[in-house]
């Protein structure tokens, strides 16, 4: 269904309003925008009325996507008649604990949490559990059995899409090679990061083993190539070191696996400032951040794995409604909700502790390149395109 997103969401939300029996008072439905709610890190955005209250805890505003997630969640929950408290914790775990404790003190009815560190929220998750507050782990799993459900994209597939893109573009099955590659992964504190990396390596490893792909630096294990806090500057500095140590003699780097757009941004900057070669380096990414889409148009980043976070918010809202209504929750939520995007129900992949599977709703990521970005992002209404061909989030 190729309709403008605003229309899709407006229709989706009015259906949601009809279906909502436990949401208290309703407000007119409005299409979400990316303008950002009137919130700042640790600030709050609350609507009025005696509605049920949702605590939405996002990790940071410094990485582009979480601003979109926070806005979509805030606007969609409000449009469905809930009160919201939205916080961004500046990538500071103590602050996130504090933000969630404040939400518990405010008697929220449900928590939606995108964790900075999936291992570090134990105490506050136990406090929420003791208070009987259901918890949806949003995008990133939290290692605590009080987490009721997990909503995310298929993180492993994000990685396989990146790896397969490299394999296809370099034609690793047929070309003689060898090709040189370097690897940059995400934040070790983020449960998603190894999924992305392992997905990509499961595609690429056989070519490394056969010698068709050569990691010239020899840096292939996750901990060595990881990027704390997904920080662009950190990714750039490691890439500069790798270039200075292994490529200063004119050795060509053909591809650089980057797990997401913020790390790709740092690696691209290092290539532009510190790389002696003149070839176009194939660089992967994830998210469709505005600066990275510009780099794709300009030919300095090759692809991004796009995740429609507006849809992730839709799933979260419908799941939250079902939880608050006391419905039985399983894959029937997918058909009952009538979403016009793909989502699977998974009870095997994600464990909050050994032996405890966290029921998960996983959306499907998609590859975006210069060739398909108008079809995937502009025609669908997520972005607009300016006269120079650059994309900007739709208002």
- Which of 192, 268, 295, 352 binds ligand BGC (CB under 6 A)? It is 192
Q: In angstroms, how far is CA 301 from the centroid of its own chain?
A: 18
**Other residues' Cβ atoms within 10 Å of the Cβ of residue 73:** 28
Which C-beta is closer to ligand BGC: that of 217 or that of 260? 260
286: contact with ligand BGC by CB under 6 A: yes
Please report how close the Cβ of residue 386 comes to ligand BGC at its closest, in angstroms. Answer: 24
99: contact with ligand BGC by CB under 6 A: no
Which C-beta is closer to ligand BGC: that of 237 or that of 327? 237
Which C-beta is closer to ligand BGC: that of 74 or that of 190? 190
Q: Three-state SS across 19-88?
A: HCCCCCCCCCCCCCCCCCCCCCECCCCCCCCCCCEEEEEECCCCCHHHHHHHHHHHHHHHHCCCEEEEEE
- Which of 150, 197, 230, 275 binds ligand BGC (CB under 6 A)? It is 230
Q: Please give the span between the terminal C-alpha atoms of the chain, in angstroms, as a whole number.
A: 21
CA angle 67, 73, 74 (to 5 degrees): 85
Question: Which is nearest to 201 in space by CA: 217, 216, 222?
Answer: 222
- Which of 180, 232, 260, 269 binds ligand BGC (CB under 6 A)? It is 260
Please report how close the Cβ of residue 105 comes to ligand BGC at its closest, in angstroms. Answer: 27
Q: Are the C-beta atoms of residues 160 and 199 closer than 8 Å to each other?
A: yes
Half-sphere exposure at residue 9, Cβ-oriented, CA atoms within 13 angstroms? 28
Which C-beta is closer to ligand BGC: that of 57 or that of 260? 260
117: contact with ligand BGC by CB under 6 A: no
103: contact with ligand BGC by CB under 6 A: no
140: contact with ligand BGC by CB under 6 A: yes
What region does 51 belong to: left with phi over 0, alpha with psi -120 to 50, or beta? beta
190: contact with ligand BGC by CB under 6 A: yes
68: contact with ligand BGC by CB under 6 A: no
65: contact with ligand BGC by CB under 6 A: yes
91: contact with ligand BGC by CB under 6 A: no
Which C-beta is closer to ligand BGC: that of 54 or that of 309? 309
DSSP designation for 41:
B
301: contact with ligand BGC by CB under 6 A: no
H or E segment to which residue 155 belongs: helix 155-169
φ/ψ of residue 259, rounded to 5: -70, -25
- Residue ranges that bind ligand BGC, judged by CB under 6 A: 63, 65, 139-140, 190, 192, 230, 260, 262, 286-287, 307
């Amino acid at each position: 269904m190729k309709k403008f997103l605003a229309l899709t969401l407006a229709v989706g939300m009015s259906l949601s309003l009809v279906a909502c029996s436990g949401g208290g008072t309703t407000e007119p439905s409005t299409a979400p925008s990316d303008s950002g709610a009137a919130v700042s890190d640790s600030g709050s955005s609350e609507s009025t009325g005696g509605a049920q209250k949702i605590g939405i805890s996002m990790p940071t505003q410094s990485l582009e996507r979480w601003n979109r997630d926070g806005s979509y969640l805030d606007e969609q929950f409000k449009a469905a008649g809930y009160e919201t408290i939205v916080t961004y914790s500046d990538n500071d775990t103590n602050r996130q604990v504090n933000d969630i404790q404040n939400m518990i003190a405010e008697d929220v009815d449900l928590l939606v949490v995108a964790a900075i560190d999936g291992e570090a929220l134990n105490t506050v998750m136990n406090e929420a559990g003791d208070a009987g507050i259901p918890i949806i782990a949003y995008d990133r799993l939290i290692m605590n059995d009080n987490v009721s459900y997990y909503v995310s994209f298929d993180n492993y597939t994000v990685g396989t899409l990146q790896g397969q893109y490299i394999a296809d573009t370099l034609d690793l099955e047929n070309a003689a090679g060898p090709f040189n590659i370097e690897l940059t992964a995400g934040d070790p504190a983020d449960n998603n990061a190894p999924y992305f990396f392992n997905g990509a390596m499961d595609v690429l490893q056989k070519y490394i083993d056969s010698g068709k792909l050569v990691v010239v630096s020899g840096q292939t294990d996750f901990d060595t190539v990881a990027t704390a806090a997904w920080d662009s500057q950190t990714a750039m500095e490691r890439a500069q070191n790798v270039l200075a140590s292994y490529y200063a003699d004119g050795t060509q780097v053909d591809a650089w696996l980057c797990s997401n757009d913020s790390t790709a941004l740092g690696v691209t900057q290092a290539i532009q400032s510190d790389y002696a070669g003149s070839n176009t380096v194939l660089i992967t990414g994830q998210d469709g951040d505005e600066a990275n889409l510009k780099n794709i148009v300009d030919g300095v980043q090759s692809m991004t794995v796009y995740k429609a976070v507006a849809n992730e918010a839709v799933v979260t809202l419908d799941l939250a409604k079902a939880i608050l209504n006391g419905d039985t929750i399983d894959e029937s939520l997918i058909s009952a909700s009538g979403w016009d995007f793909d989502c699977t129900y998974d009870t095997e992949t994600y464990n909050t502790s050994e032996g405890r599977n966290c029921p998960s709703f996983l959306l499907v990521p998609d590859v975006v390149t210069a060739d398909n970005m108008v079809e995937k992002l502009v025609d669908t209404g997520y972005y607009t395109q300016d006269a120079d061909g650059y994309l900007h989030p739709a208002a």
